[in-house]
Structure formats: structure tokens, C-alpha cells
Amino acid sequence: MSNELIGKYWVLLRHQRHDYTDEQPEQDIRTMDREEACKYKYRGNWFSVVSSNLELMKYFIKIDDKELSDKIDTAINYRPSSLTGKQICKDEVDMMNAVLDETILCLESIVG
């Protein structure tokens, strides 16, 4: 595994962690203008993209930390409330943020 590949996933996961707001919108995100809604993490699409990128990262980069690897698997397989017609809640976003934070730190430690 190359440092370049690790760096690419580091940048991508940091983007998904920090470039979308953790703020829970007052309005139901499903009724917002698309441009406005896209900046929030409270969307099923945000969860899908993060899950997909974690899965791809795990395919290409070996994560030796078994506990983190299990958390990543949980995030990959997680189905947000939006899939059952409910609004995504703060706990769901917090869980995914925590996995992203740990994964980003892990990638930093691999590169050194």
C-alpha cells in the first residue's frame, strides 16, 4: 500500500468529516432546496457516500486495529433512519463522525 493512496483516502475522509455541517437543520431536510440540503450530514446520501468510501478504503488499505476495523464494518453496514422514512438524528451523525475521526487518525499513523 502506498503513502499516496493512504493520502488520497485521508483527504477524502477529512472532506466528508469536516466540509459538511454537523448542525441539525431546523427544517426537514427532505423539504429543503437541494443546494441548501447538500451542506448537511443529515442526508441519506451523505451516509451512503461515507459508507462507500470507507468500504473502498478498507479494501485497499489494511487496518490492523481490530476494534477500529469492526467499527468501520459497522459504519459500512449501517442503515440510517432515512431509509425507513424517518429523519436522521444527531446520534447517527455522531456515530459516523466518530468512525471518521478514528479512521483519519489511523491513516495518519500509518503514513507517520
The amino acid that residue 1 corresponds to is M
62-71 per-position pLDDT tens digit: 999 999 999 9
Per-residue cell: 96: 459516523
Half-sphere exposure in the Cβ direction for 74 (13 Å, CA) = 14
Supply the pTM of this predicted model: 0.94
- Domain locations in the chain? 3-111
Q: Is the pLDDT of residue 1 over 70?
A: no
Q: What is the DSSP letter of 87?
A: P
Cα–Cα distance measured from residue 27 to residue 42, given in angstroms and rounded to the nearest whole number: 11
Cα–Cα distance measured from residue 87 to residue 103, given in angstroms and rounded to the nearest whole number: 26
Residue whose cell numbers read 447538500 = 38
Q: Identify the pLDDT of residue 72.
A: 98
